Amino acid sequence: MFIKTSAVQTALLTCLLSVTLFNSKAQLRPAPLLPNPQFTELSRFVDQNFIRLGQSSEFELDPLNETACGRVASFLLPQLKPGIDSAASITLLIDTSVKHPDGYILRYSREGVVITGGSETGLHYGAMTLLQLLQQNDGSILYPFTIVDEPRFAWRGMHLDVSRHFFTVAEIKRYLDLLAMYKMNVFHWHLTDDQGWRIEIKKYPLLTQVGGYRDETLIGRPSKKMKFDGKRHGGFYTQAQVREIVAYAAERHILVVPEIEMPGHSRAALAAYPQLSCTGGPFKTATSWGVFEDVFCAGKDETFDFLTDVLDEVMALFPSQFVHIGGDECPKTRWKACAACQKRMQEAGLKDEHELQSYFIKRIEKHVNQKGKIIIGWDEILEGGLAPNAAVMSWRGTEGGVAAAKAGHYVVMSPGKPCYFDHYQTKKTKKEPLAIGGYNPLDSVYAYEPIPAGLTPAQAAYILGAQGNVWTEYMPTFDQVTYMALPRMAALAEVLWTYPENKDFEDFKKRLEVHKTILDARGYNYHGKVVAKKSKK
Ligand code: ACM
Ligand code: ZN
């Protein structure tokens, strides 16, 4: 690679920045990108049909932003094709006059390609677009066009549950590669649940030693006559591995938001430290799915000491300002029968167990806020009174999100319909791998509008975006994770990136067909993949 810093050609830059955004629908689209950019135009007045780019291409970096542009160049270079004899260059610039800080302009020139980002992040997205374009044309051919692009929403998220089934560091990186390809920028990492605690906490080693494993796993769905596989399942990420994943994501401009579940979905933690429950246990890490009645005791100060210690280690590992504290599906049965919980309610003047849950979350919020961070929780945290600075993830429909936005709280939309990618994507389920149920087909994901009706523009501004959730009870392998996530992740990415006037489902499907060559080349399993039948001999 040659990285050369050249004087920025003022004339060229002025020309780039004079391109304005407008509806791309009527434009000839030279390349089927996912998500669709806001504006694409075939460049005229060039005397070459295409140029070739590869690892031998010369990089020219904006001298005023050399370090940031150098980072993008270093990310791009290894992904370019080796062995291409290319005289064309790749110029990387940052110019804050690009309308959106995360936007970019990508332009073909006789000498090569010029990408101008509104920031390093915008430049990175331009580089991701370049990679998709090259990968669709033998890895090195670039046709002459201009793309002017920017994201619609700030939170373009994908979630992954690693508790119900554990996935390796390499698999998490493969997942992050998908997010990066679709310009998604938040990875919500569901690290703890009843069936497994997956993050090393130095102060409480039993969390992973005991809570990181379960004796066996339910076969099929829960029923009266449950059958188990008899195989121990588990694993966890060391803090060094967590740092590695956070850094890998950051290189792709993806924020990792960790989730530590409380007060419910805590059986794995209670298997390790039963004294934090109302009854004292003993417990085993759960081996089947559902909602369990044993939860963290809200009456014991020890519970809060434990959780704040855990969160301190977690917050030190994740630069994210948001910390997800769960808050969903917490049965109140044990709290109702627990002397400590009832005493807490009496002393704090709480009228019912919903208010006790609110007390729980507010106490945790206070600690997290003191560290300069913000809690986000599932919409149950609205019950009994929302913590003052909390953001809400709306999953039981959109009502929770609407209520939170109206009250001036940030919201991430993730309603079961259509954002739960553990649901089936076809009605013909007989030949499908077993799923939890439900039906969220590709077209309904594509048609999703994250801003609910009935909000004023000021209230709508609290909707940060949306995310797709991948709960893995019925996804024992990473191949099955991507089978359920794809292509719905691409559809949601377009919902979140592309302005509605530049979206069209029929067009999306055509682009997707071309895009499948990239998924195939990279070995990703996905719904709708054509698998060659074995010939009968
Ligand atoms: C959830 O699906 N329990 C947030
Ligand atoms: Zn209790």
**pLDDT tens string for the chain (537 positions)?**
444 444 333 333 333 333 333 333 333 345 689 999 999 888 766 666 789 999 999 999 999 999 999 999 999 999 999 999 888 999 999 999 999 999 999 998 878 999 999 999 999 999 999 999 999 888 999 988 899 999 999 999 999 999 999 999 999 999 999 999 999 999 999 999 999 999 999 999 999 999 999 999 999 999 999 999 999 999 999 999 999 999 999 999 999 999 999 999 999 999 999 999 999 999 999 999 999 999 999 999 999 999 999 999 999 999 999 999 999 999 999 999 999 999 999 999 999 999 999 999 999 999 999 999 999 999 999 999 999 999 999 999 999 999 999 999 999 999 999 999 999 999 999 999 999 999 999 999 999 999 999 999 999 999 999 999 999 999 999 999 999 999 999 999 999 999 999 999 999 999 999 999 999 999 999 999 987 666 655
- The percent helix, strand, coil of the chain (3-state, each to 5) is 35, 20, 45
Domain with CATH 3.20.20.80 in the chain: 155-521
Fold classified for 2-149 = Chitobiase; domain 2 (3.30.379)
Active-site residue list: 193, 265, 329
What is the enclosing helix (H) or strand (E) of 392? strand 391-394
Ligand 2: centre distance to CA 339 (Å): 7
Q: Rounded to whole angstroms, how far apart are CA atoms 72 and 252?
A: 9
Q: Distance between CA 535 and CA 361 in Å, rounded?
A: 59
> Dihedral of CA 263/269/275/280: which sign?
positive
- Concatenating the DSSP letter of every residue in 435-487 gives -SEEE--HHHHHT--SS-TT--HHHHTTEEEEEEB---TT--SHHHHHHHHTT
- How much is the pLDDT for 13? 35
289 close to ligand 1 (CB < 6 Angstrom): no
Which residue intervals of the chain bear CATH 3.30.379.10? 2-149
Measured CA to CA in angstroms, residue 2 lies from 55, 56, 262, 339 at distances of 9, 8, 51, 70
DSSP state of 374: E
Q: What is the pLDDT of residue 1?
A: 42
Q: How is residue 434 written in tokens?
A: 């077993």
Q: Which of 188, 192, 328 for a ligand 1 pocket mutation test, highest count of atoms within 8 Å of Cβ?
A: 328
**From the alpha carbon of 265, which atom of ligand 1 is closest?**
3
User: Distance (Å, rounded) from C-alpha 146 to C-alpha 422?
Assistant: 38
Q: What is the pLDDT of residue 5?
A: 43
Q: Which fold would CATH assign to domain 155-521?
A: TIM Barrel (3.20.20)
Ligand nearest to the CA of 392: 1
Cα torsion through 212, 219, 329, 373, rounded to 10: 40
Whole-number Å distance, alpha carbon 419 to ligand 2 midpoint, is 34
Task: Give, for ligand 1, the residue of 329, 419, 421 to mutate: max count of ligand atoms closer than 8 Å to Cβ.
Answer: 329
Ligand nearest to C-alpha 344: 2
Residue with tokens 């924020």: 255
CA dist 358 and 48 (Å) reads: 65
Q: Is 262 helix (H, G, I), strand (E, B) or coil?
A: strand
Note the pLDDT of residue 535.
62
Query: Distance (Å, rounded) from C-alpha 356 to C-alpha 270?
Result: 19
Across the beta sheet with 104-109, the strand order is 2-5, 58-61, 89-94, 112-117, 104-109, 145-149, 39-42
